[in-house]
Amino acid sequence: MTTETLTPPEQGVPDMNNMRKIAMWVFLGSEVLFFGSLITTFLIYRTRVGDGPSASQVFDIPFTSISSFILLMSSLTMVLAHHASFRKDWRQMRVWLLATAALGMVFLAGQVFEFTEFVDHGLTVTTSPFGSSFFLLTGVHGAHVAVGVLLLAATAFMSFSGRLRDGEGMNVEIIGLYWHFVDIVWIVIFTVVYLLQV
Amino acid sequence: MATLNPPREELHSSGPAREGVWGWLTTTDHKKIGILYGGSAIVFFLVGGIEALLIRVQLAVPNGEFLSADSYSQMFTMHATTMVFLVVMPAAAAFTNYFLPLLIGARDVAFPRLNAFSYWVFLFGGIFLTTSFFLGGAPDGGWFGYAPLSTQLNEVVRMDYWALGLQFVGLASLLASVNFITTIFAMRAPGMTLMRMPVFVWMALVINFLLLFSLPIITVGLIEVFLDRNLGTLFFDAANGGDPILWQHLFWLFGHPEVYVLILPAMGVVSEILPTFSRKPLFGRSFVIFSGIAIGFMGFGVWAHHMFTAGLGPVAEAAFALTTMFIAVPTGVKIFNWLGTIWGGSIRLATPMLFSLGFIAMFVIGGLSGVTHSIAPADWQQTDTYYVVAHLHYVLFGGAVLGLLGGLYYWWPKITGKMLHEGLGKIHFWSILVGFNLTFAPMHLLGLNGMPRRTYRYPEGLGFEFWNFLATLGSFLIAASMLVLFWNIYRTWRRGEVAGPDPWDGRTLEWTTSSPPPVYNFAQIPVVEHEDDFWHRKYTTSEDGTSVAIDPPPNMDLEPDANIHLPSPSFYPALAAAGMFVILMGLVYLPWGLVAVGAGFLATMWGLFGWSMEPLTREDH
């Protein structure tokens, strides 16, 4: 690809960090199709509510707008964490990593609250194809956020021991790629699943 | 980081870091993982072959009594599932694992432990699918698992095994695709530009992009089938507003790219074999590469030709009929490229060459019957008949399997250091070619005469008897021909002729190393100056256009580099995969299986945690 990879500094020693970044991009390409299929399933079933409640009857747009805003802010803190790791300011980096994880957890808490509200209104996975596809799509997205929170927390705590220091900047950058991707997917979900359905 | 400075005498042995079973369990060497993939594919080929023979015995005579309807459904479902996911895909993965780094001049793949993890996930997935025979019955809803048949609950666990098993095997392929794509983009030797890469590597790149983008689609579909079965969701429940056609779209959006995942490896292998045995470069090399890329893109635009009878309407059917006819163009182009390669070459009809020529001939027949399916009204007549069975076996057996067997004969000397016996190889080729055509050519006639697929018996007096009996005879000839291969392998293991590094006068980098290659592949990372670089190191072209050997021949006995970094063996990938196997087993037997899910989760976490904490190379030599 680049001249850097064609003439490695030491022959036979590939640039690990560069490869991990490529791998994350490739993996995210796969995730696009994954969420694409889930969103398609939802769009086919969005009006098939059977006897259960419809989207406009259960969705609380102001609430979800706030939790969406919180998730978007976590992308800002993620950028700050990456920037700090770039400057090798490990203390700042840890602060922003943990802030990102915390914002992610607030978003998840909001999702749990929202789910229980919907169940109270009579919308479950077995109510209607709308319910099945809504909970699967948002649930899978929530699981992605949860994995991201774990990765962020693990990186922050492991940086205390100094074990990952060599590749730390790259770790943060790769997790950042993942985190921003999950955020972008939420922007699509919030638009397509929430705003367009009420 | 450990620095391995191997002694001189190690050059001619691929001495693993650890011996025995533990060595294989913990290996991160792409060559050993390739051998594991290949060995597993052969074992599963026996399983899938026995299933096929049972089907043929049942159909040999009208009103067959050999299998019940129930066990027949299990047999055809598992035959297809096994052959597609546990034989052809891992066989291709075996060659990709072993030869991709060698062909691009690398010492390993990008992520050796991820590579090992992919293999163990695949193996446990295969074991999971196959053990279902002994645990309440194997999947019986067809390899395509059409909803709502696959979501009906009356057969307890069978399609759970299918939904989870495919998910698991798919995970292995997905991780492998990330690994191989990264390897190709980041680990090529100096001078190995993309267009200088061997065609086999190019096909591997296309295949892995196909897998990368198609597997997530089937993943979603399989999750929905599993939830419909176990949680009572309504994705494919037509009575409550669900749409079974959605499953067909999700499945074939994966399933059709998957078809190219199965055939492109064989095309890559043949594109390596034909130039070697014709002593000519591949004709229109860049055209073959761009045709492969075109197939990759167009492969995502033809899926609904599997659904012409699902009632999509004339516009959709016409559109998909056209795209299906179009995709025959880049495929047909390759046929002419291969013929052009042979044309005027000095041809050696060694066994790999015979298999490649057999591949071309059989694939043309299968391709032509495939084009007849693109005409939607004809397809309405042919669908769900034996005509389709004939077509798919001509491309997948006559195409993919013959091509991969050619690869086996071609690369066997490189992998083991010994030559397979040529005479036995030729007996194998001719008997499998005759047996294959005896088995599947009659199915064209049976199908056009209206014999339906997937029915376990047929009545007397419809004219099906003779052709079915012939097909059964042919299937046993195929089985006998495989015994010749196994005898050949055994004989070679006992007293095979030593191959030397370059037995076929090869053109690509893998032939520059010893046979088998040393653990570090290349003593010094090669610097590539041409397409078919090794050929250009051995030969130059004289003024009248003939190849003249360069004197003196290239020095292949190089001092190994002082700094060679190799991945250490690791136990964690196998542990994590085993933990995930336990999770799957638990998920089949919900709710009690939750205990197993918990235990498996802990083992998986232990494996992944240990893996992430363990440095890639450590001082243990």
pLDDT value at residue B6 = 39
Distances (CA, A) of B288 to A66, A157, B293, B294: 53, 51, 9, 10
pLDDT value at residue B496 = 87
Using a CB-CB cut-off of 8 Å, the residues of chain A touching B241 are 45, 48-50, 128-129
Average pLDDT over residues A55-65: 92
Residue A8 binned pLDDT confidence (cut-offs 50, 70, 90): very low
Using a CB-CB cut-off of 8 Å, the residues of chain B touching A14 are 106, 110, 186-187
Domain hosting B119: range is: 29-567
Within a domain: A3: no
Within a domain: A183: yes
Average pLDDT over residues B211-239: 94
B133 and B223 in a single domain? The answer is yes
Residue B545 scores a pLDDT above 90 = no
B260 and B306 in a single domain? The answer is yes
B509 and B550 in a single domain? The answer is yes
Q: Do A19 and B220 touch (CB under 8 A)?
A: no
- Chain A residues 100-159 with CB within 8 Å of chain B: 125-126, 128-129, 131-133, 136
Q: How many domains is chain B built from?
A: 2
pLDDT digits (tens, 9 = 90+) for B278-325: 999 999 999 999 999 999 999 999 999 999 999 899 999 999 999 999
Give the whole-angstrom CA distance, residue B118 versus residue B82: 17
Within a domain: B466: yes
Q: Is A1 on the interface with B (CB under 8 A)?
A: yes
Which structure tokens are listed for B566? 């190799």
Distances (CA, A) of A27 to B111, B180, B424, B511, B605: 14, 12, 45, 33, 21
Q: Is B214 on the interface with A (CB under 8 A)?
A: yes
Which structure tokens are listed for A161? 């021991």
Q: Do A126 and B246 touch (CB under 8 A)?
A: no
Query: Strand B547-549 to strand B497-498: parallel, antiparallel, or no bridges (unpaired)?
Result: unpaired
- Beta-bridged to residue B419, according to DSSP, are B497
Give the whole-angstrom CA distance, residue B499 versus residue B410: 11
Give the whole-angstrom CA distance, residue B225 versus residue B240: 15
pLDDT value at residue B150 = 87
Within a domain: A1: no
Q: Do B190 and A6 touch (CB under 8 A)?
A: yes
The lowest-confidence range among A17-26, A138-147, B217-226, B536-545 is B536-545
Using a CB-CB cut-off of 8 Å, the residues of chain A touching B235 are 41, 45, 129, 132-133
Q: Is B154 on the interface with A (CB under 8 A)?
A: no
Q: Is B513 on the interface with A (CB under 8 A)?
A: no
Give the whole-angstrom CA distance, residue B321 versus residue B324: 5
B200 Cα distance to chain centroid: 13
For residue A42, give the nearest of A137, A183, A143 by alpha carbon. A137
Chain A: give the shortest CA distance to residue B502, in Å: 23
Residue A7 binned pLDDT confidence (cut-offs 50, 70, 90): very low
Name which of B208, B233, B601 to mutate to probe chain A: the one with the most chain A Cβ atoms within 10 A of its Cβ: B233
Using a CB-CB cut-off of 8 Å, the residues of chain A touching B186 are 1, 5, 14-15, 18-19, 22
Using a CB-CB cut-off of 8 Å, the residues of chain B touching A163 are 613
B407 and B348 in a single domain? The answer is yes
Average pLDDT over residues B415-419: 94
Chain A: give the shortest CA distance to residue B185, in Å: 6
Average pLDDT over residues A49-63: 91
Within a domain: B97: yes
- Which amino acid belongs to residue B86? L
Length of chain A: 198
Chain A: give the shortest CA distance to residue B192, in Å: 8
B89 and B106 in a single domain? The answer is yes
B46 and B183 in a single domain? The answer is yes
B113 and B214 in a single domain? The answer is yes
Using a CB-CB cut-off of 8 Å, the residues of chain B touching A26 are 177-178, 181-182, 212
- Beta-bridged to residue B547, according to DSSP, are B541
Length of chain B: 621
Residue B68 binned pLDDT confidence (cut-offs 50, 70, 90): very high
pLDDT digits (tens, 9 = 90+) for B577-602: 999 999 999 998 877 889 999 999 99
- The CATH number linked to B365 is 1.20.210.10
Q: Is A162 on the interface with B (CB under 8 A)?
A: no
B534 and B616 in a single domain? The answer is no
Q: Do B235 and A27 touch (CB under 8 A)?
A: no
B358 and B449 in a single domain? The answer is yes
Q: Is A2 on the interface with B (CB under 8 A)?
A: no
Q: Do A126 and B233 touch (CB under 8 A)?
A: yes
Q: Do A33 and B231 touch (CB under 8 A)?
A: no
Within a domain: B24: no
- The CATH number linked to A94 is 1.20.120.80
Residue B76 scores a pLDDT above 60 = yes
pTM: 0.92
Within a domain: B8: no
Residue B619 binned pLDDT confidence (cut-offs 50, 70, 90): very low
ipTM for the assembly: 0.90
Residue B466 φ then ψ, to 5°: -60, -50
Residue B617 binned pLDDT confidence (cut-offs 50, 70, 90): low
Within a domain: B4: no
Chain B: give the shortest CA distance to residue A6, in Å: 5
pLDDT value at residue B210 = 97
Computed over every residue of chain B, the mean pLDDT equals 91
Q: Do B216 and A31 touch (CB under 8 A)?
A: yes
Using a CB-CB cut-off of 8 Å, the residues of chain B touching A119 are none
Which of B110, B232, B565 minimises the CB distance to A23? Answer: B110
pLDDT value at residue B154 = 58
Of the residues B547, B567, B587, the one at which a domain ends: B567
Determine the residue of chain A that is closest to B193 in CA distance. Answer: A1
Which structure tokens are listed for B180? 């191989």
pLDDT digits (tens, 9 = 90+) for B347-369: 999 999 999 999 999 999 999 99
Domain hosting A88: range is: 15-45+60-197
Give the whole-angstrom CA distance, residue A25 versus residue B110: 14
Q: Is A14 on the interface with B (CB under 8 A)?
A: yes
Using a CB-CB cut-off of 8 Å, the residues of chain A touching B177 are 26, 30
Burial class (CB in 10 A: 0-12, 13-18, 19+), B447: buried
Give the whole-angstrom CA distance, residue B218 versus residue A71: 29
B556 and B600 in a single domain? The answer is no
- Chain B residues 563-582 with CB within 8 Å of chain A: 563-565
B173 and B217 in a single domain? The answer is yes
Within a domain: B375: yes
Which of A15, A26, A125 minimises the CB distance to B212? Answer: A26
Name which of B104, B108, B178, B529 to mutate to probe chain A: the one with the most chain A Cβ atoms within 10 A of its Cβ: B178
Share of chain B above pLDDT 70, in %: 95
Residue B155 binned pLDDT confidence (cut-offs 50, 70, 90): low
- Beta-bridged to residue B564, according to DSSP, are B4
Residue B14 scores a pLDDT above 50 = no
Residue B621: how many other CB atoms lie within 10 Å: 12
Q: Do A26 and B242 touch (CB under 8 A)?
A: no
Within a domain: A117: yes
Q: Do A12 and B224 touch (CB under 8 A)?
A: no
pLDDT digits (tens, 9 = 90+) for A151-184: 999 888 888 766 555 555 668 889 999 999 999 9
B557 and B595 in a single domain? The answer is no
pLDDT value at residue B5 = 39
pLDDT digits (tens, 9 = 90+) for B227-245: 998 888 999 999 999 999 9
Give the whole-angstrom CA distance, residue B59 versus residue B458: 8
Chain A: give the shortest CA distance to residue B327, in Å: 22
Within a domain: B18: no
Among A103-117, B2-16, B511-525, name the most confident range: A103-117
Q: Do A11 and B213 touch (CB under 8 A)?
A: no
Q: Is A10 on the interface with B (CB under 8 A)?
A: yes
- Beta-bridged to residue B4, according to DSSP, are B564
Q: Do B187 and A19 touch (CB under 8 A)?
A: yes
Average pLDDT over residues B598-608: 93
pLDDT value at residue B554 = 79
Within a domain: B11: no
Residues 6+ apart with CB under 8 A from B545: none
Within a domain: A29: yes
- Chain B residues 217-256 with CB within 8 Å of chain A: 217, 219-221, 223-224, 227, 231-235, 237, 240-243, 246, 250, 253
Using a CB-CB cut-off of 8 Å, the residues of chain A touching B216 are 30-31, 33-34, 37
The lowest-confidence range among B24-33, B66-75, B565-574, B611-620 is B611-620
Using a CB-CB cut-off of 8 Å, the residues of chain B touching A139 are none
Residue B29 scores a pLDDT above 60 = yes
Give the whole-angstrom CA distance, residue B513 versus residue A1: 25
Q: How many domains is chain A built from?
A: 1
Residue B411 scores a pLDDT above 50 = yes
Block residue for tokens 């098939």: A48
Within a domain: A55: no
Beta strands per DSSP E along B268-318: none
Chain B: give the shortest CA distance to residue A192, in Å: 19
Average pLDDT over residues B502-521: 92
